[in-house]
Amino acid sequence: MNKSKNKVFDANELAVISEAVKQSSEITEAKVKVLSGLMIGVVIVTFVGFITMIVMVATILIDSFNMKSVSYRDYLKNIETYREFVKTSAQKN
């Protein structure tokens, strides 16, 4: 008793299978569109975040440089004030 493993489909079954494959293909295409849109959004958000981090680091470095230059200017002013104080003290004696 040899039974064939291949099933023969009639026209109605083939139509149902064909419609199911078509719907599955349409669903897959819709999912691909949604996922590609989400990936574009992720790339944009990542790029904006990266640019923001670069700007923040640059701001920190610029502020640090400004603070050092301000403190250096204060240091020079203090030295000049000290020189004037020494000169006036020497003239009084």
Whether the CB-CB separation of 17 and 9 falls below 8 Å is answered with yes
63: its two tokens: 């502020």
pLDDT for 22: 93
Dump pLDDT digits (tens) for 21-31: 999 999 999 99
The pLDDT of 52-73, averaged and rounded, is 84
Whether the CB-CB separation of 34 and 26 falls below 8 Å is answered with no
**How far is Cα 12 from Cα 20, in angstroms, rounded to an integer?**
12
22 vs 89 pLDDT, higher one: 22
pLDDT for 1: 47
Dump pLDDT digits (tens) for 8-52: 878 888 888 899 999 999 999 999 999 999 999 999 999 999 999
**How far is Cα 93 from Cα 90, in angstroms, rounded to an integer?**
5
